[in-house]
């Protein structure tokens, strides 16, 4: 069963979606369907993960402002802009998210897209030509001004890789939220629109759950305390896996097996320096922050460290 502690999201004055929910997971269970990305103003199904990650919507893609419209919408249609249908570019073998790095992401962000803005209640539509970046920002923030072809081009969102470089800024937020007083934790970035990132995160968590208790806390960059949080891609989140009453020496081999291939059975572990002493060197620091749970103010050494 999935246990969540949530505070509803909201649209802020500047058009950004405020993802204030703190998600805790102690036991996994089957997800409900359809599943939508959190943190976006428009309800975007995860089926659009490749489009979101590659910054490229294509012919035939249809996005609805009301999530009910993805099923059979009954009763009155919501007034105003209610759907966006992409007419161009033509559908292609859209590249997997892992293939889009650096200049390719920027090129897609700046490329042209032809869309039809649909008002279902009024039975009207309008065709516009603008950049993929403007379309994405309208979906991310819910601000229709981005759909104006004459408005200034938006900057390319920072990537999950750039967010990972700011993990040290998130430690205090997880100190406040985690419930375990002893053990260790692994803090890392997950791009929810990237199949490889989600799969790796799932593999790490499943391996850790197979050997003990795990508390998962997931925060948006803003809630995690990262500087300039709205500059990052909205599907990038910071996840903390808290492992109560387990030492870093116990957990590091599990992380190594999931994050780095080729582990040998006779490798010994230097948890303090986060490397294997075999010729196959591994640094968990390349993947996230792995550390013993810091002692809370006033706690004794024995209270703060697993035995």
Pair (84, 118) in one structural domain:
yes
pTM of the model: 0.78
Q: Tell me the mean pLDDT per 10 residues along the chain, length 307.
A: 30 38 46 72 95 95 91 66 94 58 84 96 95 98 97 96 97 97 97 94 97 97 98 97 97 95 44 42 90 76 43
| C-alpha dist (Å) from residue 65 to 79, 215, 241 | 11, 34, 33
Angle at 209 between CA 208 and CA 214, to 5 degrees: 90
Identify the pLDDT of residue 102: 56
Helix axes of 103-110 and 132-141: crossing angle, nearest 10 degrees: 90
Cα(261)–Cα(18) distance, integer angstroms: 38
Domain region containing 240: 160-304
How many CA atoms lie within 13 Å of 72's alpha carbon, on the beta-carbon side? 1
Domain count, the chain: 2
Q: Which of 147, 168, 187 corresponds to the end of one domain?
A: 147
Pair (191, 129) in one structural domain:
no
Identify the pLDDT of residue 170: 98
Identify the pLDDT of residue 261: 60
Q: Which two tokens stand for residue 287?
A: 């993947």
Q: Which two tokens stand for residue 300?
A: 């004794």
Instruction: Report which of 15, 49, 225, 261 is spatially closest to residue 138, judged by C-alpha positions.
Output: 15
Reported as type and span, the H/E element at residue 79 is none
Instruction: Look up residue 180 and give its DSSP letter.
Output: -
Pair (103, 215) in one structural domain:
no
Pair (184, 122) in one structural domain:
no
């Amino acid at each position: 069963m999935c246990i969540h502690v949530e505070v509803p999201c909201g649209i802020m004055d500047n058009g950004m979606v405020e993802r204030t929910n703190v998600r805790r997971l102690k036991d996994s269970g089957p997800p409900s369907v359809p599943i939508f990305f959190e943190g976006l103003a428009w309800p975007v199904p995860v089926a659009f993960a490749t489009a979101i990650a590659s910054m490229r919507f294509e012919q035939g893609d249809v996005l609805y402002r009301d999530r009910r419209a993805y099923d059979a919408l009954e009763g009155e249609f919501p007034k105003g802009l209610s759907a966006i249908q992409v007419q161009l570019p033509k559908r292609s073998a859209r590249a997997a998210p892992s293939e889009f790095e650096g200049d390719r992401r920027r090129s897609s962000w700046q490329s042209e897209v032809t869309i039809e803005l649909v008002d279902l209640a009024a039975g009207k539509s309008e065709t516009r030509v603008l950049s993929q970046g403007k379309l994405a920002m309208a979906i991310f923030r819910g601000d229709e001004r981005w759909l104006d072809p004459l408005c200034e081009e938006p900057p390319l969102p920072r990537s999950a890789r750039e967010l990972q470089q700011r993990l040290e800024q998130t430690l205090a937020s997880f100190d406040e939220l985690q419930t375990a007083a002893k053990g260790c934790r692994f803090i890392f970035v997950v791009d929810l629109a990237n199949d490889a990132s989600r799969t790796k995160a799932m593999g790490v968590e499943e391996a850790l759950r197979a050997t003990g208790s795990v508390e998962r806390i997931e925060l948006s960059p803003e809630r995690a305390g990262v500087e300039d949080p709205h500059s990052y891609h909205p599907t990038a989140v910071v996840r903390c896996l808290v492992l109560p009453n387990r030492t870093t020496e116990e957990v590091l081999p599990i992380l190594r097996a999931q994050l780095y291939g080729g582990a040998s059975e006779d490798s010994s572990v230097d948890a303090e320096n986060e490397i294997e002493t075999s010729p196959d060197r591994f640094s968990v620091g390349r993947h996230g922050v792995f550390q013993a749970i810091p002692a809370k103010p006033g706690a004794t050494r024995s209270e703060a460290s697993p035995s």
